[in-house]
Chain A
Amino acid sequence: MRDPLVKKVVDIPPSGIRKFFDIVSEMDDVISLGVGEPDFDTPWHIRDEGIYTLEKGKTFYTSNAGLKELRQEICLYLKRHYDLDYDYASEVLVTVGGSEAIDLAMRVMLNPGDEVLIPEPCYVSYVPCCVLAGGTPHIIELKVENEFRLTKEELLAHINDKTKMLVLPFPNNPTGAIMERKDLEGIAKVAREKDLIVVSDEIYSELTYGTGHVSIASLPGMKERTITINGFSKSHAMTGWRLGYACGPAPILKQMTKVHQFAIMCAPTNSQYAAVEGLRNGDKDVQEMRQAYDGRRRYLIHAFEEMGLPCFEPKGAFYVFPSIQKFGLTSDEFAERLLREERLAVVPGTAFGNSGEGFLRISYAYSLEDLKKALDRLRHFIKKLEAEK
């Protein structure tokens, strides 16, 4: 029988945490700080609305672009929170998670040979989606000296005549970095001058601490060249509901909707109805969750300082990205030893790109009690390493 598989697909490297996942499942009493989703359940009023719509028998398809009320609420929400003006009828598409939105944006805009600038360390989907869409990923390695923000100098240094698209994933997974207005203005200037399309993955937009999130599409001359991607997974603790959205210029959204129609039909109806409730009445819950994350964030930063683990202060998402360079181990070695010897699981920074070497991603989507137990194990391991030197 012939080999049916496409080489391009097979060549995509598997997830960098497969090995750890396997070790974790064999061990007992492992504390994992390696999750990428909220520890909160979806707020009850949203779950209740979801249950109610199932009881009422709303189990049919919605329109391809998504429920009209949801698209309207999305536009109101984006205006209310980020001063963005989108037309619900032609500039919004409801997708199966932010993940699908990223994939669609790349599929409709990348010709073979087009290059996509991807700042790393970053979430693992951008490179594979780019490759699958026929584009060429071009990595920009961000620096801890810049708090893992993208500078306009770095951007300019990597642009060539094939560059078509820039992915802007902020607030960032895994670094917890954010881009403030002044940072975005620098990027926007380059994007306008070099006629770049920006795909802005803002899934963590509600989780910024000490400063509000700024959407690059709200800057002058950017709305016409930006696809703003967001969703409900992190803000409303709705990861399993699989719901997100893309907003952008009508001609691009039209094509994204077309592909979405053929490949998916529509996002889950039940999730859409629940999300309407979330947008209308969920602001208070989102704020409470954000405050809880903020408290844990401060606690972790303080604990790392005491342990002598260098870490810049992350102002977004729910991850901390400390450096373990001083111990002379690679991220992978550190993480594996930490797991085997202390039964504490964290994600090595290299799972998110080569520029993650020397760092660990530690999530604080856990209760304070769990974080304290985990920190005890980490502290013990660090003392052990220092004694070994």
Chain B
Amino acid sequence: MRDEILTFLERNSRIDLKELAIILGTDEVTVVNEIAKMEEEHIICGYHTLIDWDKTSADKVTALIEVRVTPQRGQGFDSIAERIYNYPEVRSVYLISGAYDLMVILEGKTLKEVSGFVSDKLSTLDSVLSTATHFILKKYKDHGTIFEKKSKDERMPMTL
């Protein structure tokens, strides 16, 4: 039941819980309680909305930055990750395998603002050895949703 609820919520956090209960063949109280428990257990950590900012007038630039660090004695990567993710402009921080250690996703209004952040705040951190910045030019698919999806139903309208 939990996995099914999570699968539905992940795709549509605004789903009507009464409808979700019908679809899953259970009652609303069960669904509401499960969700509350999962929120408490921090399995459900937030409800966000997926936005294609390119279609708005807002200025937004997103960068993917690979960061190489020297892990802190006794703390591994956790404290350097915390120093980085505390910045509100940092959207995501992941510990990754490969040539780099951390993957940071950063948002700013302009290219200059983002590169400024990297050179002034990120590269200057004590444990940071090197960074590689990649600017996102176009988003095709994000969080499982294809942005330019064809919505027209191409099937013949009636078939036996």
Specify which chain B residues have a CB less than 8 angstroms from the CB of A34 in the assembled complex. 157-159
Among B9-24, those with CB < 8 Å from A are 19, 22-24
Q: How does the 8 Å CB contact mask read for A18-32 relative to B, with 1 for contact and 0 for none?
A: 001100110000101
> CB distance B19 to A35 under 8 Å?
no
Residue of A nearest to B159 (CB): A36
What band does the interface of chain B fall in when counting residues whose beta carbon is under 8 Å from A? 10 to 19
The docked-state distance in angstroms from the alpha carbon of A291 to that of B8 is 12
For the complex, is A123 an interface residue (Cβ under 8 Å from B)?
A: yes
Specify which chain B residues have a CB less than 8 angstroms from the CB of A20 in the assembled complex. 158
> CB distance A295 to B23 under 8 Å?
yes
For the complex, is A152 an interface residue (Cβ under 8 Å from B)?
A: no
> CB distance B158 to A347 under 8 Å?
yes
Specify which chain A residues have a CB less than 8 angstroms from the CB of B153 in the assembled complex. 39
Residue of B nearest to A240 (CB): B155
Specify which chain B residues have a CB less than 8 angstroms from the CB of A124 in the assembled complex. 160
> CB distance B23 to A24 under 8 Å?
no
Contact partner, A351, options B23, B25, B156, B160, Cβ 8 Å:
B160
For the complex, is A302 an interface residue (Cβ under 8 Å from B)?
A: yes
How many residues of A are counted as interface, with CB atoms below 8 angstroms from the partner's CB atoms?
29
> CB distance B156 to A35 under 8 Å?
yes
Distance between B116 CB and nearest chain A CB, rounded to angstroms: 40
Given known pairs A35-B155, A37-B155, A39-B153, the reply for A17 and B22 (CB within 8 Å) is: no
> CB distance B22 to A299 under 8 Å?
yes
Specify which chain A residues have a CB less than 8 angstroms from the CB of B159 in the assembled complex. 34-37
> CB distance B23 to A21 under 8 Å?
no
> CB distance A298 to B22 under 8 Å?
yes
Distance between A56 CB and nearest chain B CB, rounded to angstroms: 27
The docked-state distance in angstroms from the alpha carbon of A37 to that of B155 is 8
The docked-state distance in angstroms from the alpha carbon of A368 to that of B19 is 10
> CB distance A32 to B158 under 8 Å?
yes
Specify which chain B residues have a CB less than 8 angstroms from the CB of A294 in the assembled complex. 25
For the complex, is A345 an interface residue (Cβ under 8 Å from B)?
A: yes
The docked-state distance in angstroms from the alpha carbon of A103 to that of B63 is 59
Distance between A8 CB and nearest chain B CB, rounded to angstroms: 21
Specify which chain B residues have a CB less than 8 angstroms from the CB of A337 in the assembled complex. none
The docked-state distance in angstroms from the alpha carbon of A173 to that of B160 is 8
Specify which chain B residues have a CB less than 8 angstroms from the CB of A30 in the assembled complex. 157
Q: How many A-B residue pairs have CB under 8 A?
A: 52
Distance between B79 CB and nearest chain A CB, rounded to angstroms: 40
For the complex, is A258 an interface residue (Cβ under 8 Å from B)?
A: no
Residue of B nearest to A32 (CB): B157
Specify which chain B residues have a CB less than 8 angstroms from the CB of A296 in the assembled complex. 23
Given known pairs A39-B153, A299-B19, the reply for A24 and B25 (CB within 8 Å) is: no
Contact partner, A295, options B24, B156, B157, B160, Cβ 8 Å:
B24
For the complex, is A359 an interface residue (Cβ under 8 Å from B)?
A: no
Residue of B nearest to A296 (CB): B23
Residue of B nearest to A370 (CB): B153
Distance between B128 CB and nearest chain A CB, rounded to angstroms: 39
Specify which chain B residues have a CB less than 8 angstroms from the CB of A347 in the assembled complex. 158, 160
Specify which chain A residues have a CB less than 8 angstroms from the CB of B160 in the assembled complex. 15-17, 36, 123-124, 173, 347, 351-352
Distance between B149 CB and nearest chain A CB, rounded to angstroms: 11
Q: How does the 8 Å CB contact mask read for A298-334 relative to B, with 1 for contact and 0 for none?
A: 1100100000000000000000000000000000000
> CB distance B22 to A345 under 8 Å?
no
The docked-state distance in angstroms from the alpha carbon of A124 to that of B159 is 11
> CB distance A24 to B22 under 8 Å?
no
Distance between B94 CB and nearest chain A CB, rounded to angstroms: 26
Q: How does the 8 Å CB contact mask read for A32-66 relative to B, with 1 for contact and 0 for none?
A: 10111101000000000000000000000000000
Specify which chain B residues have a CB less than 8 angstroms from the CB of A299 in the assembled complex. 19, 22-23
The docked-state distance in angstroms from the alpha carbon of A32 to that of B23 is 21
Among B130-160, those with CB < 8 Å from A are 153, 155-160
Contact partner, A24, options B4, B19, B24, B158, Cβ 8 Å:
B158
Distance between B76 CB and nearest chain A CB, rounded to angstroms: 36
Interface residues of A (CB under 8 A from B): 15-17, 20-21, 24-25, 30, 32, 34-37, 39, 123-124, 173, 291, 294-296, 298-299, 302, 345, 347, 351-352, 368
Q: What are 25 contact pairs spanning A and B, CB under 8 A?
A: A16-B160, A21-B157, A21-B158, A30-B157, A32-B158, A34-B159, A35-B155, A35-B156, A35-B159, A37-B155, A37-B159, A39-B153, A39-B155, A123-B160, A124-B160, A291-B4, A295-B23, A295-B24, A296-B23, A298-B22, A298-B24, A299-B19, A345-B157, A351-B160, A352-B160
Interface residues of B (CB under 8 A from A): 4, 19, 22-25, 153, 155-160
Closest 6 CB pairs of A and B: A295-B23, A34-B158, A32-B157, A36-B159, A302-B22, A24-B157
| Apart from A295-B24, A347-B160: 10 A-B pairs, beta carbons within 8 A | A15-B160, A17-B158, A17-B160, A20-B158, A35-B158, A39-B155, A291-B4, A298-B24, A299-B23, A345-B157
